[in-house]
Amino acid sequence: MPKLIHVAAAVIRDRSGQILIARRPDDKHQGGLWEFPGGKVEPDEPVATALARELQEELGIQVTAARPLIRIPHHYPDKSVLLDVWLVDGFDGEAHGAEGQPVRWVMPGALDDYSFPAANAPILAAARLSQRLLITGAAATADEYAARVQVALNNGIRQIMLRAKSLDDAAFAELYGRLQPLCEQQGAVLGVNASVEQANALGVEHLHLTSARLATLSDRTAFTGRWLSASCHDAAQIRMAQEKGVDFITLSPVLATQSHPGEPSLGWEAFAELVAECTLPVYALGGVSEADLATAQTCGAQGVAAISAWW
């Protein structure tokens, strides 16, 4: 296997939420495609230093706030790269194509309208996904579900997964129909923890699979919606999720949970080791809350997923 070329790349976000993309020169590797700005990391050079240097040279901006987002090894037929991707949400200067390259500010939802190198698929997911994923807990009535979801939306949650295992398919469909308009009004994604068949029948945008359902999934095309995620608990399940084309995963349990007292948890060190081997965005799940967001992201996670913290 050829040596990995270490590349620093940036998801640059402005105050309106737009993301900056640049077009690769036609005569370069993957020429003509769009990309997230950045460049090669020199030997012994800190990634943050390389990123700041490249963005100054390519775009004429000075980075003031950035954090690691995702690391992706990818193997093309002619070369292998390690994409070290950072989220840049603070910078001075006006971004422009300082080397003559076309650049464009795009809303996250419009990124699918552009052609990117294959290695960028997980970056596109990470750029569009929220830092917080709410998994619904118990509620006595549809009204209570709706009220709790509305509170979460009012508190800035923009990614919600409906998990209601006690409901039959008809009641689940009715509840989804009640909650979906609330989420749509706030620009939030409402996903479901359900079977592929049920999700396709509902026409959902996001389907989350249990690890058992992931094991029986034929391939990614079985689900017709936009986002497919899965629950993972170990390295083998992470590899399975990657092989089957899942967009992102939850990895649990990170810490001890109220719902499963006494069960062993990963801990942050083992969590970080598993995330480092994963090429997909990962949410920390199990005993975590808003207070753990920075720790999770330091470990390489997209963010945190939780029930009790926001329900």
Q: Please enumerate, by residue number, every residue annotated as part of a binding site for Mg(2+).
A: 38, 58
Q: Please enumerate, by residue number, every residue annotated as part of a binding site for 8-oxo-dGTP.
A: 24, 29, 35-38, 120
Phi/psi for 9 (5° steps) reads -135, 155
Q: Please enumerate, by residue number, every residue annotated as part of a binding site.
A: 24, 29, 35-38, 58, 120
> How would you classify the pairing of strands 62-75 and 80-92?
antiparallel
pLDDT digits (tens, 9 = 90+) for 292-301: 999 999 999 9
Is the predicted pLDDT of residue 1 greater than 70, yes or no?
A: no
Of residues 281 and 3, more confidently modeled: 281
Residue 56 and residue 62 in contact, taking contact as beta carbons nearer than 8 Å: yes
pLDDT band at 4, cuts 50/70/90? confident
Residue 133 and residue 125 in contact, taking contact as beta carbons nearer than 8 Å: no
**Mean of pLDDT values over 142-162:** 97
The predicted structure's pLDDT at residue 139: 94
Predicted TM-score of the model (pTM): 0.92
pLDDT digits (tens, 9 = 90+) for 201-244: 999 999 999 999 999 998 899 998 899 999 999 999 999 999 99
The predicted structure's pLDDT at residue 75: 83
Q: How many angstroms separate the CA atoms of 137 and 148, rounded?
A: 9
230 strand-pairing partners: 209, 249
Q: Is 11 exposed, middle or buried (0-12, 13-18, 19+ CB in 10 A)?
A: buried
Give the residue among 103, 117, 156, 166 at the shortest CA–CA distance from 133.
156
What domains are defined for the chain?
4-128 (3.90.79.10), 132-306 (3.20.20.70)
